[in-house]
Amino acid sequence: MQPMKPILAAILTIAGLAMPATQASADTPLTLAQIVDAALEANPQVRAARARWSAAIHSIKQNYAPNDPIFNYFNTDSPTNGFDHAATHTINVTDSFQFPGKALYQADIARRNADVARLTYEAALRDIRAQVETAFYQDQLDTALGVVADETLVNLKRVLEVTQVAYSANQVTQTDFISAELDLSAEQLERDRLKVAVANDLTTINQLLNRIPDAPLQLDQTLKLEPLNIRLDTLVERAFKLRQEILESALAQKNSEDSVTLARMEYLPDYSVGYTFDNYMIPSAGPTVNSLQDHGWNIGFNLPVFFWIKQREDVTRAGFDLDAARNDLASIRSQTAASVTALYRSAQYSYRTAATYRDTLTPLARQNFEVALTAYTSGKIDFVTLSTTLRSYYGARISYLTAANQYLAGRVALEQAIGEPLAK
């Protein structure tokens, strides 16, 4: 593996992966891109996929090599114990070979298997990137919900104060004051839940970064919503060209085609070639009295006499495997098109929803609450109406954050279905 680039090394150091992080670096907010780069470098799943790819690469060349030769030494015609006083010493070397051309197809299959391993590695990168982005956006959501909860607590305390003043002046009943206290206590519990959620989000990211669960990690909380301005048909075409599972299925189909050819080549005989050298220790055992050594060679090959239950069945089986591979490719293409289409529609809807709440509904809900608070103070509305306007304001902010998170998560899922980030 090549040495880490300085920027990546700095990211890993900050994230606590390359060396222990200082307190100052631990407090440095990390962007999504930095977290993704660190995870793609340190995640064990990615490293395992990369190692399997390297292993597959080193299984290609060996297909060109013939089988190892077999060396035999014979100590024969011994009148004693078989180890001494032998009449003949014989050396025999034999090697077996496939019919010419088989190795080429086998190497092609091994090369495509290495390409499949590469695509599996790229799929691991894609999936880990998606998991990191999803966890990052979830942390942004839970953190933002915590901010909303803090502001809601402030507003609930304002409501509690005005109800207390109104109750002290005998303008409202004690029920209003007790209801305000209950709402405040419930919101405090919700805030505690969100703190736990944020802690769990960071634990998930640390796991993807191959760090201890409670390692310190400060993330950038800037929420960015960029519209999806790419045509659906363009995304589908990109998915057909880039999605790793589709490319793997195409390679599997090509391997199945070569497997059919190899199955048919089983009718062609494989063969073996051997060389023999005899050294006669007793003159009378040699070919002639004056010639105590001789040489010989042999050639053998297999005969497919049982082709009706072996080779023919192999060809038939390979044909069905090829048909299955073709249908697998058609199936994954169809599934990909449907998945991209559904994810695209959902993402677009989530973006429109988030934009509507951000630009229109949330400002109106906030204005409505401020007006209601003033009206309650002057006795023009009751507590139920005031509480309803506060909850509407709170709900509008929650709906915006939820829709924004759904949009971002939808983009991540869409990128995962396509096979690469949309920004490329």
Question: Is there a domain that residue 202 lies in?
Answer: no
Q: Are residues 57 and 76 in the same domain?
A: no
C-beta separation of 38 from 219 below 8 A: no
Q: Are residues 137 and 280 in the same domain?
A: no
pLDDT confidence of residue 284: 74
Question: Is there a domain that residue 9 lies in?
Answer: no
Torsion of CA 3, 6, 9, 13, to 10 degrees: 150
Question: Is there a domain that residue 30 lies in?
Answer: no
Compute CA 396 distance to the chain's CA centroid, rounded to the nearest angstrom.
Answer: 35
Which runs of consecutive H residues, i.e. helices, occur in 216-308? 232-242, 244-264
pLDDT confidence of residue 85: 77
Question: Is there a domain that residue 201 lies in?
Answer: no
C-beta separation of 401 from 145 below 8 A: yes
Q: Are residues 52 and 82 in the same domain?
A: no
Number of domains in the chain: 2
Q: Are residues 246 and 277 in the same domain?
A: no
Could you identify the residue written with the tokens 């988030």?
A: 354
Instruction: Give the SS3 label for residue 306.
Output: coil
pLDDT confidence of residue 4: 47
pLDDT confidence of residue 118: 96
pLDDT confidence of residue 424: 57
> How far, in Å, CA of 143 to CA of 145, rounded?
5
Q: Are residues 287 and 344 in the same domain?
A: no
Q: 3-state SS string over 48-83? A: HHHHHHHHHHCCCHHHHCCCCCEEEEEEECCCCCCC
pLDDT confidence of residue 399: 95
pLDDT confidence of residue 107: 93
Compute CA 353 distance to the chain's CA centroid, rounded to the nearest angstrom.
Answer: 30
Q: Are residues 290 and 381 in the same domain?
A: no
How buried is 142 (Cβ within 10 angstroms: 0-12 exposed, 13-18 middle, 19+ buried)?
Answer: buried
The residue type at 136: F
Q: What is the CATH number of the domain that holds 245?
A: 1.20.1600.10
- With a cut of 50, list the residues of the chain below it in pLDDT: 1-10, 13-15, 18-25
Q: Which domain holds residue 232?
A: 36-64+111-189+221-268+306-418
Q: Are residues 242 and 364 in the same domain?
A: yes
Q: Are residues 283 and 401 in the same domain?
A: no
C-beta separation of 393 from 107 below 8 A: no
